[in-house]
Structure 1
Amino acid sequence: MRQAERALFDLRRGVPVLLADAGSDTLILPVEALTDDALADAQLLTGSVPQLVLSRHRLASLGHLISDEAQALTSTGVTDSALLRRLASARDARLPDGLRRAPASAAAAAALRLLGRAQLLPAAVAFPVLSARAALVAGEIACGNLLSVSTADVLALCDGGHGVLTRISEARIPLADAEEARFVLFREADGVREHVAIVIGEPDDWAEPVPVRLHSSCLTGDLFGSLRCDCGEQLRRGVAAINSQGGGVLLYLSQEGRGIGLANKLRAYALQDDGLDTIDADQVIGFGDDERDFRIAHQILDQLGVSRVLLLTNNPGKIDALRHAGINVVARQAIYGDLTSQNQRYLETKARRQGHSLGELLGMRPLADGAGRA
């Protein structure tokens, strides 16, 4: 498992990783940092033709519906890194003629899951290692130039959630809307992300069920007041609502962009500027409509001793996901931001395509420019 965790950091640095599966080895390069030199080096090392591995979401955006989670695309004529990056994420890309498509190998499919966990584009270039090059590859591993990890370990890491969360530190942080607040920081086992529980009031004084909001981090909205979403207002109003009910917990989860990360969220924003809604934009770059893992919330609430929850949310799907993760959601309470001309389409998409309960908010007149936002 430790090797799989190390592989996360190598991939984020653009360094290739070798995945071993049932006697076969596959060299994996993340498309996000792909260069012509890296492609040439990988082909020389492995002796094989590159395979572009794409998720079913990306292939659907290209007009190809598949039942598998991923496919491998092979063409002896596609060896240009810029073209491979376009095929992985450009809205107007088209698959070249003569491209052979086949179900991704176990190693290649596992690589996409690892890239998603690393919050990189879920697209890889895979090079099966030919038997004639096995000794050369083994030498690279032996001298420390290449990390080898088993496909089974990668899948165990991805299937096992985020491991045991460790409670690291805490401090009293008086807030404008909740003076009696304490921040408790939790770190994931692989060290990639940290999450904060904002504990409001005294647990002995909390109502039953405990008011709880799960808030996924949104740098653009929470910190900079972006008008594209209502996240910043939901964050602050969530704190105020919990405080007004005698206290509870707001979980600030490091799940930017519904779990795809800030870099990918900005890619999706650029696609939205070209006319796509938030769900279709995520699909173009290879993601589903929600990549979050709410088992994290269950672990944190368990450590805080919270077993029954009044959930502040507009998303019935989140309630189902939390219950599936093991959280006893007793009731729901709506929590709105402001409707503006800039975020109206975003909120309408969430209501229409994801079932968010936003009818009351969407029935209001939008603010023209976001004036009056907190």
Structure 2
Amino acid sequence: MYSAERALFEIRQGRPIWVKPEEGLGPKVSSILAPVENLTESYLNDLRDLSNTGLRLVITHNRAESLGVQTLTTSDGPPKAISIILEPTCDMDQLMLLAFGINQSKDLELGPASRSESISLSLLRLVRLIPAVVSCPVEDNLQETAEGFAKKHDILTTTASEIIKLTNSANSTITKISEATVPLKGMIDTRFILFRESNTLFEHLAVLVGNPEQWEDPVPIRIHSACLTGDLFNSLKCDCGEQLHKSLDYFCENNGGVFLYLNQEGRGIGLSNKLRAYQLQELGLDTIDADCALGFQSDERDYNVGMKMLHELEVNRILILTNNPDKLNWAKNAGLEVIGRMPLYGEPNEYNLPYVRTKIERAGHFLEEMIAQRPNNHPVTVLPEQSS
């Protein structure tokens, strides 16, 4: 998996990688893959000069649908990646428009994305770049030329199977890196513990409020995805900052609890793409369609890391503060005893209401009472006893 780990950091820097096939798995066609987001006109021309079959733009199925193209289907549903044959005259402006711009392009020439091309998109999503790559297929008659090109440009090689191992969150481990007492206003007895993921080196924070020996049973917990705009700047477009502060207030009033602050800005797409999604929302898309138009899933978050953090903290019976059914399901599937759920409502306003309504209607969040603007007194919902 070492080559894939190096490939991850190459991709993060916007550098191309060469994904080669494994022995005995299908045709021997590999691909040199360059992330669109950091590609230059000069490098695009270099790739075009190398190719003898033409370049392709590889995008996700979600992005293809947003372009209005009729996507290919397979026996088990739509493909996860689509290959668009690029015109020889396609320049960077046209390429960027295809990758994450706003347009409807129904006359594009489509082809099936190879296994290597499809899997490479998972690396980009993992490092929160736009999931779109320019692919230069390398067939047998191009191997020697491609080797020289790769040497000249210091292109790293890896395999599809190595990438799969790396991007599977179940294979990622977390390590406790550091901890310290950090007194907060109204919560003097508070400890911060920082964990780091092995596959991405992303860092996540566990905030332990109060003395663990005096915590209630079940332990109140909040799994909170970082939101710079809401948590720090009090953005009116979401209710994240209000949920953060109401969670900490609840812990302060109820003998403490655990606040997990996960590095998953913008439902896992990162701050740069979150701002891009905001631009698309200004043009009329809702929060889910905007993410999909950028090539992402409706929710890219993976709560495995949060479950592992709770395991490290030896927290097993929980009262979860959330409106999100996905968090309940992740906790139950991780073997935690979810004894109850407490909702967290922000104040509705003209800027966050479209966002809240979309979460209710399309993601199943428990936010109807927030829309109804009922009194801010939210009882705990005791969940049915879990089967063993």
Report if TM-score (shorter chain) is over 0.5.
Answer: yes
Corresponding residue of 1:39 = 44
For the pair 1:134 / 2:139, whether they are aligned, the reply is no
Residue 120 of structure 1 aligns to a residue in which SS? coil
8 Å CA contact 2:66, 2:104 repeated in 1: no
Residue 199 of structure 1 aligns to a residue in which SS? strand
Corresponding residue of 1:80 = 91
Q: How does 1:111-260 map to 2 (within 5 A)?
A: 111-141=120-150, 145-161=154-170, 163-260=172-269
CA spacing shift, 1:81–1:143, aligned 2, 3 Å: closer
Q: Cα deviation per residue 1:54-97 (whole Å; 9 max; x = unaligned)?
A: 111111222335511111111444531211111111222414x3
The alpha carbon displacement at 1:214 in A equals 0.5
Corresponding residue of 1:21 = 21
Corresponding residue of 1:60 = 65
Corresponding residue of 2:287 = 278
Question: Aligned residues, how many?
Answer: 364
For the pair 1:340 / 2:345, whether they are aligned, the reply is no
8 Å CA contact 1:177, 1:236 repeated in 2: no
Amino acid at match of 2:161: A
The alpha carbon displacement at 1:10 in A equals 1.4
TM-score (structure 2 length as normaliser): 0.89
Amino acid at match of 2:94: L
Q: Cα deviation per residue 1:125-145 (whole Å; 9 max; x = unaligned)?
A: 111113233123334555771
In 1, the alpha carbon distance for the partners of 2:193 and 2:248 equals: 15
Query: Which is worse superposed, 274-283 or 40-49?
Result: 40-49
Residue 119 of structure 1 aligns to a residue in which SS? coil
CA spacing shift, 1:327–1:78, aligned 2, 3 Å: farther
In 1, the alpha carbon distance for the partners of 2:153 and 2:136 equals: 19
Corresponding residue of 1:363 = 372
Residue 292 of structure 1 aligns to a residue in which SS? coil
8 Å CA contact 1:18, 1:27 repeated in 2: yes
The alpha carbon displacement at 1:237 in A equals 1.1
8 Å CA contact 1:46, 1:130 repeated in 2: no
Q: How does 1:274-353 map to 2 (within 5 A)?
A: 274-353=283-362
In 2, the alpha carbon distance for the partners of 1:143 and 1:75 equals: 24
The alpha carbon displacement at 1:25 in A equals 1.8
Amino acid at match of 2:370: L
Amino acid at match of 1:8: L
In 1, the alpha carbon distance for the partners of 2:126 and 2:228 equals: 19
In 1, the alpha carbon distance for the partners of 2:195 and 2:277 equals: 28
Corresponding residue of 1:372 = none
* Structure 1 segments unaligned to the other structure (5+ residues): 366-374
8 Å CA contact 1:89, 1:286 repeated in 2: yes
* Structure 2 segments unaligned to the other structure (5+ residues): 23-27, 375-388
Corresponding residue of 1:50 = 55
The alpha carbon displacement at 1:39 in A equals 1.1
The alpha carbon displacement at 1:46 in A equals 4.2
Residue 29 of structure 1 aligns to a residue in which SS? strand
- The root-mean-square deviation of aligned C-alpha atoms, in Å, is 1.9
Q: Cα deviation per residue 1:264-292 (whole Å; 9 max; x = unaligned)?
A: 10000001111111011111111111110
Corresponding residue of 1:30 = 35
In 2, the alpha carbon distance for the partners of 1:326 and 1:59 equals: 37
Corresponding residue of 1:269 = 278
8 Å CA contact 2:219, 2:257 repeated in 1: yes
CA spacing shift, 1:192–1:48, aligned 2, 3 Å: farther
8 Å CA contact 2:178, 2:195 repeated in 1: yes
In 2, the alpha carbon distance for the partners of 1:165 and 1:144 equals: 34
In 2, the alpha carbon distance for the partners of 1:219 and 1:252 equals: 12
**What is the identity percentage for the equivalent residue pairs of Structure 1 and Structure 2?**
41
Amino acid at match of 1:146: I
8 Å CA contact 2:173, 2:199 repeated in 1: no
8 Å CA contact 1:162, 1:188 repeated in 2: no
1:94 aligned to 105, 118, 124, which one? 105
8 Å CA contact 1:161, 1:293 repeated in 2: no
8 Å CA contact 2:277, 2:291 repeated in 1: yes
The alpha carbon displacement at 1:253 in A equals 0.1
CA spacing shift, 1:60–1:322, aligned 2, 3 Å: farther
